[in-house]
Amino acid sequence: MSSETTRSYRFPEGFLWGAATAAYQIEGSSMADGAGESIWDRFSHTPGNMKDGDTGDVACDHYNRWREDIELMKRLNLQAYRFSVSWSRVIPEGRGAINAKGLDFYDRLVDGLLEAGIEPLATLYHWDLPAALDDRGGWLNPDIADWFADYGQVLFETFKGRVKTWGTINEPWVIVDGGYLHGALAPGHRSAFEAVIAGHNVLRAHGAAVKRFREVGEGRIGIVLNIEPKYPASDKPEDEAARKRAEAQMNRWFLDPLMGRGYPEELKDVYGEAWREFPREDFELIAEPTDWMGLNWYTRAVPENAPDAWPVRARPVKQVQHAHTETGWEVYPPAFTDTLVWLSEQTGGKLPLMVTENGSAWYDPPHAIEGRIHDPMRVHYLQTHLKAMHDAIGKGVPLRGYMAWSLLDNLEWSLGYSKRFGITHVNFATQERTIKDSGLLYAEVIRSHGEVL
């Protein structure tokens, strides 16, 4: 018998199992009941931005079906649910007047989760900036740090004692790289000068919200980073330099200043004349201590030197020996273990970590067949990544939980509904939900604390 078959993958007592979503990707009705427009309403309604012209107008209709979705979470044995709050639902103009009906939606959701014994993990910002704030410069306006802290305060006070775990911002890098550098995501700008400023303000806003939380909130607060580890393409010095640039631009741009280390040196080289220096006091605010950190993990990259690839001058080499998901991302679970070990080293070894997203898109049929959705590739991805995560715990990583991406098939941003990440299938014609084989496995993993792996 190989050690694979005899080894136990039992997870520690208290390890928190859940699934994640984000407001614009699932809720629909984004402008209902007095909500204001967000940059994603605008972006998705601008022709040419979205695959097949998809929008989040209906999405998974979670705004109306949240009760049914809590029932679904129960069937999946979820212990926690990570969701995000739509800023412009709660404060339509981004600042000032509160929309009570918008806040009520999250109030009912949180109460429903608590009644079901499911712990709510709330993210303040998962990319849907109020459009009224974008009209004032959005993440380019330094005032956004105060706007964000004021918005946070509304939630911290409303949900005091009910929501105990908060995330400030989901994936600063994606907000900046997608929204301001390459323009594939809202608000769709393409400027290195803007990216450098937007990135700094995202970090300042995070720091300001953490500070406010200490004044008015209760519980634990942290940020959620995407880390995609960079492996060497060769031992050539120019490839190693490219790898370091890629690592600095994606993984360390936000992590280093959060940890009080300032920006990585390499960013000057990457951004050239677009780079700038920032006041010292900003870095104190940015490094405001947090209680936990979230990791969103999907794949690794193997970058090689590519002088024409703007602005990082690195390009990933496709690893043809491994499988790739529907979004073209390599399946390589050992890198998940490595990232968790690396991140815990980078954060000092004691900061509690949580996997706030992990998952994969594969081809699934548009509707269930005989009540089932067989998704063997996602089952395999889930199994191998949970095992890789278990390995990291064995190496001493202080990992507290895992949130599968995603509870539901949903709007994959500018890729529209074409990419399905759910452990639950959504028939977008009827809104019918069907737990996929991967979801059935996940429910068993949770029930058995990982013994079935």
Q: Could you say whether residue 177 binds ligand LGS (CB under 6 A)?
A: no
Burial-class residue 193 by CB neighbours within 10 Å (0-12, 13-18, 19+).
middle
CB of 215 to ligand LGS, least distance (A): 28
CB of 157 to ligand LGS, least distance (A): 26
- Token digits of residue 199: 């990135």
Nearer to ligand LGS, 249 or 299 (CB): 299
Q: Could you say whether residue 421 binds ligand LGS (CB under 6 A)?
A: yes
CB of 421 to ligand LGS, least distance (A): 6
Nearer to ligand LGS, 24 or 66 (CB): 24
Q: Is beta strand 314-316 parallel, antiparallel or unpaired with respect to 303-305?
A: antiparallel
CB atoms within 10 A of CB 282: 17
Residues 400-419 touching ligand LGS, rule: CB under 6 A, are 405, 412
CB of 123 to ligand LGS, least distance (A): 9
Nearer to ligand LGS, 9 or 247 (CB): 247
Q: Is beta strand 80-84 parallel, antiparallel or unpaired with respect to 119-125?
A: parallel
Residues 324-353 touching ligand LGS, rule: CB under 6 A, are 329
Q: Could you say whether residue 22 binds ligand LGS (CB under 6 A)?
A: yes
Q: Given the rule CB under 6 A, which of 105-113, 138-146, 170-178, 386-394 is the region that contacts ligand LGS? A: 170-178
Residue 399, H or E segment: strand 399-405
Question: Is position 357 annotated as part of the catalytic site?
Answer: yes
Q: Are 43 and 102 in contact (CB under 8 A)?
A: no
* φ, ψ of residue 318 in degrees (nearest 5): -65, 130
H helix intervals, 217-301: 237-247, 253-258, 266-271, 280-286
DSSP helix, strand, coil percent of the chain (3-state; round to 5): 45, 15, 40
The radius of gyration of the chain's CA atoms, rounded to the nearest angstrom, is: 21
Nearer to ligand LGS, 217 or 294 (CB): 294
In the beta sheet, which residues pair with residue 315? 304
Active-site position among 228, 304, 357, 412: 357
CB of 8 to ligand LGS, least distance (A): 30
CB of 61 to ligand LGS, least distance (A): 18
Applying CB under 6 A, among 81, 151, 253, 298 the residue interacting with ligand LGS is 298
Nearer to ligand LGS, 264 or 303 (CB): 303
Q: Is beta strand 16-20 parallel, antiparallel or unpaired with respect to 399-405?
A: parallel
Q: How many residues appear in the chain?
A: 453
Q: Are 359 and 381 in contact (CB under 8 A)?
A: yes
CB of 329 to ligand LGS, least distance (A): 5
Nearer to ligand LGS, 99 or 296 (CB): 296
Size of the site for ligand LGS (CB under 6 A): 15
Applying CB under 6 A, among 30, 49, 165, 226 the residue interacting with ligand LGS is 226
Q: Which amino acid is at 58?
A: V
Q: Could you say whether residue 296 binds ligand LGS (CB under 6 A)?
A: yes
Segment 101-104 long-range contacts (CB within 8 Å, at least 24 positions apart): 101/33, 101/34, 102/33, 102/34, 102/35, 103/154, 103/158
- Enumerate residues 6+ apart whose C-beta is below 8 A from 311: 181, 192, 249, 270, 271, 272, 274
Active-site position among 37, 171, 228, 304: 171
Nearer to ligand LGS, 15 or 298 (CB): 298
Burial letters 210-229, b for 16+ CB under 10 A, else e: bebbeeebebbbbbbbbbbb
Tell me which residue has its CB nearest to ligand LGS.
298
Q: Are 132 and 90 in contact (CB under 8 A)?
A: no
Applying CB under 6 A, among 27, 41, 266, 357 the residue interacting with ligand LGS is 357
The C-alpha angle with vertex 225 and arms to 443 and 37, in degrees rounded to 5, equals: 90
CB atoms within 10 A of CB 200: 24
Q: Could you say whether residue 44 binds ligand LGS (CB under 6 A)?
A: no
Site string for ligand LGS, 243-262 (x = CB under 6 A): --------------------
H helix intervals, 128-191: 131-134, 144-158, 172-176
Nearer to ligand LGS, 283 or 417 (CB): 417
CB of 44 to ligand LGS, least distance (A): 14
CB of 121 to ligand LGS, least distance (A): 14
- Token digits of residue 15: 């390890």
Q: Given the rule CB under 6 A, which of 8-16, 131-139, 296-304, 372-380 is the region that contacts ligand LGS? A: 296-304
Which positions are catalytic?
171, 357
Q: Which residues bind ligand LGS (CB under 6 A)?
A: 22, 25, 170-171, 174, 226, 228, 296, 298-299, 329, 357, 405, 412, 421
